[in-house]
């Protein structure tokens, strides 16, 4: 089950975090993986892990917020069976103290970047009459998180874009879903804690972990496993859905 043999998969942000875990898992399941990432060294490290597993990986240094760069990459790849939009950035701030520069920066990567990749992948999927798109949303589209104004805005947009694409391309055999993780233990989280709470890293990690009812953060591999299901043929009846993977944060927090 969940074989991706003979499938071509594009994963943005595949150099780290959830994107990396997804790229490694997809390769183990037989997919030819294309990693799109602005950080070339991280992408190369992921690709090396894949080749060490006798998998297939190609990296593409690309800024997903620049449509011309994205189009060039997808033209070079050719037909795509699976697109996973995992690239994204975060920001701490409210509507009052978020600057226009930061607002635009998050929009360009988290919203326009997702649009650019779907825009580039959809024509070939239409011609083939099949395709799967998986977008990375967040629990932030379902609940109010403190100091996450711009980030929440972008993830709400990802959720609604997912529904729109699922509806518009259903007749072409293209499925589109999104997942909404809670806190996941990624290098970004470690870097955020180190930057903002020097000397208190262990304390803050435990505090952030316990904000989720399950009492811990998710591991990237746990999110990747669910992404694999949604992108596999076993999920052929699933489209237009958002799946929280949040340790009970949305429904169980009081």
- Of the candidates 137, 134, 142, 162, which has an alpha carbon nearest to the alpha carbon of residue 227? 134
Using left for φ > 0, alpha for ψ between -120 and 50, and beta otherwise, residue 36 falls in beta
Q: How confident is the model at residue 216 (pLDDT cuts 50, 70, 90)?
A: very high
So what's the pLDDT on residue 192? Answer: 80
Token digits for 7? 């499938």
pLDDT at 197 over 90: no
Span 66-88, mean pLDDT?
97
CATH 3.40.50.720 correct for 8-182+218-243:
yes
Tens-place pLDDT, residues 27-76:
999 999 999 999 999 999 999 999 999 999 999 999 999 999 999 999 99
Span 92-96, mean pLDDT?
94
Q: In what order do the strands lie in the sheet with 32-37?
A: 56-61, 32-37, 8-12, 82-85, 131-136, 174-181, 242-245
What element of type H or E holds 100?
A: helix 100-106
Q: How confident is the model at residue 254 (pLDDT cuts 50, 70, 90)?
A: low
End-to-end CA distance of the chain: 38
Q: How far is CA 61 from CA 73, 76, 103, 199, in A?
A: 9, 12, 24, 35
What pTM did the predictor assign? 0.95
**Tokens 């294309």 map to which residue?**
34
Q: Which residue among the candidates 151, 197, 229, 243 is catalytic per the annotation?
A: 151
Task: Find out whether 13 and 184 touch, Cβ atoms under 8 Å.
Answer: no
- Which class for 41: exposed (0-12), middle (13-18), buried (19 or more C-beta within 10 A)? exposed
- Does the annotation mark 172 as catalytic? no
Domain boundaries, the chain: 8-182+218-243
């Amino acid at each position: 089950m969940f074989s991706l043999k003979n499938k071509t998969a594009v994963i943005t942000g595949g150099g780290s975090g959830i994107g990396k875990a997804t790229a490694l898992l997809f390769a183990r399941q037989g997919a030819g993986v294309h990693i799109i990432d602005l950080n070339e060294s991280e992408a190369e490290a992921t690709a090396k892990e894949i080749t060490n597993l006798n998998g297939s990986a190609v990296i593409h240094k690309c800024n997903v917020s620049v449509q011309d760069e994205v189009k060039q990459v997808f033209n070079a790849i050719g037909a795509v069976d699976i697109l996973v939009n995992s690239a994204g950035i975060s920001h701490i701030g409210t509507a009052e103290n978020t600057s226009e520069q930061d607002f635009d920066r998050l929009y360009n990567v988290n919203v326009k970047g997702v649009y650019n990749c779907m825009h580039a992948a959809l024509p070939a999927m239409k011609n083939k009459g099949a395709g799967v798109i998986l977008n990375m949303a967040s629990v932030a589209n379902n609940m109010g998180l403190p100091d996450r104004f711009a980030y929440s805005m972008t993830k709400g947009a990802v959720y609604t874009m997912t529904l729109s694409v699922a509806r518009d391309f259903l007749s072409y055999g293209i499925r589109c879903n999104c997942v909404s993780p809670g806190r996941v233990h990624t290098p970004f989280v470690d870097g955020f804690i180190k930057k903002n709470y020097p000397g208190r890293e262990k304390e803050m990690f435990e505090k952030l972990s316990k904000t989720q009812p399950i009492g811990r953060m998710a591991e990237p591999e746990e999110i990747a496993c669910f992404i694999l299901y949604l992108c596999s043929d076993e999920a052929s009846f699933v489209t237009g859905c958002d799946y929280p993977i949040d340790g009970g944060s949305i429904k169980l927090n009081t």
